[in-house]
Amino acid sequence: MGLMPALALFGGKPIRQGGWPCWPQVGPRVAARLEEVLASGRWTISAPYLGHPSFEQRFAAAFAGFCGTRYCVPTASGTASLMVALEACGVGAGDEVIIPGLTWVASASAVLGVNAVPILADIDPDTLCLDPRAVEAAISSRTRAICAVHLFSALAELSQLTAIARRHGLALIEDCSQAHGAAYAGKRVGGLGAIGAFSMQHNKLLTSGEGGAVVTNDEDLARQAAQLRADGRLFRPKPLEGQLELVPVGEPMGSNRCLSEFQAAVLLESLPDLTRLNGRRAENAGELDSVLVSSGAYHPQQTSQATTIRTYYKYAFALDPETFEDIPVRKVADALGAELGVIVERTYPPLNDNVLYQPASRRRFQLNDEHLKRIDPSRFALPECRKAHERFLTLHHRLLLGGPDELRALQYALIKLVEHREELRAVAAAR
Ligand SMILES: *Cc1c(COP(=O)(O)O)cnc(C)c1O
């Protein structure tokens, strides 16, 4: 390393010191809607009817319309939506559910939460989504469902997964928590399998801080899901003012996983902005893609060929192994973060080696020795998930909401790292 370091990580001048677009972005009418809920006397669906549809029902109708599905059942969180989706599809005690080995921990913990067994399958190295061949190989007589995650908004190979699910009589669940508004072969995600689950947690592309929803075209699944999230109750068809709108049914018993009126109001007002923000992110991501590809030093995450609308929950890209040889991915993440004044993250660690995924640490999952063995994540081999964790970096989607200045900063920072990678290599070698 020369006397004067170039990289901000070592004291050089950063490309940009913060000043990025914020997330979440608050639409102009959101505050008024929250005040409206506050004063209304109805803060959730399990409260007396006020003579007009709740925000929860209005959001459900709007989101079903957006996803192109017949039904939407809002829930308290993405985790709740996955558990509701699994149980609506008949998944229960001892059933196996195939999920990708590289995803947010909730994809797995939701399966455990319905007393089922997560089967961790390896991913496609380019899309980071389920590899259909790995799914096929993981099917057993106890498999009940496949849960495909559209990781960082890249779309899984849904036509192959649908065919596999059909051939083996399994339910295909889409975990769309990272892909609100993306489309596959002209259809929005969520409606391509039996049922789709969404999270509306703070960082997601549509958010109310916490929240979720399931969408489906199947009337029976929707009816199951509605009861599973509201203690076994359904909306009465013609409520009277002052009457409780929910009535006991109990076709399955449920649990309370309802979205509050405050959250529903925020989502209803934010939904119209989703397409515009997705468009802005996609435009910037497209520009970034071409810089990355022409540099030869980075490889943007791919998506299924059938993707017709690409969204960006994160912008994920792999480091070229030759360009960055002997430089730990963690160092590159820190160096890029220092150039931009933001936190740059790697992908999740594979679920067979992830501190957040430790089924045996919870008494509730210790049903018996056989179950404990079946849910032990260390029994799965996930070489592609491991490689992805060693190669990929991700940028928060808010960085894609800027204009030309922000885009240029991203491009300059990425190129700067390539030009000055010897500084990183020297530090790595000194270890
Ligand atoms: C965020 C997320 C979830 C869980 O959602 P919560 O709202 O945090 O419960 C599940 N799956 C994936 C892929 C996610 O990104």
Distance of CA 52 to the CA centre of its chain: 33
Report the distance separating Cα 121 and Cα 110, nearest Å.
16
What sign for the dihedral angle of Cα 12, 15, 19, 24?
negative
CA of 201 to the centre of ligand 1 (A): 7
Q: Say if ligand 1 is within 6 A of residue 178 CB.
A: yes
pLDDT for res 18: 83
Return the closest-CA partner of residue 390 out of 128, 115, 19.
128
Establish whether residue 174 lines the binding site of ligand 1, counting it when its CB lies within 6 angstroms of any ligand atom. no
Q: What is the pLDDT of residue 431?
A: 66
- Cα 412 to ligand 1 centroid, rounded to whole Å: 32
75 touches ligand 1 (CB under 6 Å): no
Distance CA 9, CA 365 (A): 44
Note down pLDDT in tens along the chain; length 431 residues: 456 889 999 999 999 998 999 999 999 999 999 999 999 999 999 999 999 999 999 999 999 999 999 999 999 999 999 999 999 999 999 999 999 999 999 999 999 999 999 999 999 999 999 999 999 999 999 999 999 999 999 999 999 999 999 999 999 999 999 999 999 999 999 999 999 999 999 999 999 999 999 999 999 999 999 999 999 999 999 999 999 999 999 999 999 999 999 999 999 999 999 999 999 999 999 999 999 999 999 999 999 999 999 999 999 999 999 999 999 999 999 999 999 999 999 999 999 999 999 999 999 999 999 999 999 999 999 999 999 999 999 999 999 999 999 999 999 999 999 999 999 998 878 76
Record the pTM: 0.97
* Assigned token pair, 1: 């390393």
Which has the closest alpha carbon to 182: 192, 168, 173, 172? Answer: 192
Nearest Cα residue to atom 11 of ligand 1 = 107
Residue type, 32: A
CA of 263 to the centre of ligand 1 (A): 16
pLDDT at 3: 64
* Residue 263 in contact with ligand 1 by CB distance below 6 A: no
The DSSP-derived string for 371-413 is HHHHT-GGGS--HHHHHHHHHEEEEEGGGGGS-HHHHHHHHHH
Could you tell which of 97, 107, 199 is best to mutate to test the pocket of ligand 1, judged by most ligand atoms within 8 Å of the CB? 199
Measured CA to CA, the distance from residue 230 to residue 255 in angstroms comes to: 6
How high is the pLDDT of residue 2? 52
DSSP H stretches of helix in 244-368? 261-295, 329-340
Q: Whose CA is closest to atom 7 on ligand 1?
A: 78
Residue with tokens 């509730």: 364
Nearest ligand 1 atom, CA 106: 10
| Mutate-to-test residue for ligand 1 from 201, 207, 263, 267, highest number of ligand atoms within 8 A of CB | 201
* Cβ of 208 less than 6 Å from ligand 1: no
Give residue 77 CA to ligand 1 midpoint distance, Å: 8
Buried (b) or exposed (e) across 47-74, using 16+ Cβ within 10 A?
bebeeeebbbbebbebbbebbbbebbbb
Quick one: what percent of the chain has pLDDT higher than 70? 99
Q: What pLDDT is stored for residue 67 in this prediction?
A: 98
Q: How far is the CA of 80 from the centre of ligand 1 (A)?
A: 9
**What local confidence, expressed as pLDDT, does residue 428 receive?**
76
The pLDDT assigned to 1 comes to 47
Ligand 1, closest atom to CA 77?
7
Q: Is 149 in the pocket of ligand 1 (CB under 6 A)?
A: yes
Output the CA 163–ligand 1 centroid distance in Å.
26
Catalytic residues: 204
Ligand 1 pocket mutation, candidates 104, 112, 204, 205, criterion most atoms within 8 A of CB: 104
Mutate to test the pocket of ligand 1, among 177, 214, 229, 311 (most ligand atoms within 8 A of CB): 177
Over residues 380-398, the pLDDT tens digits come to 999 999 999 999 999 999 9
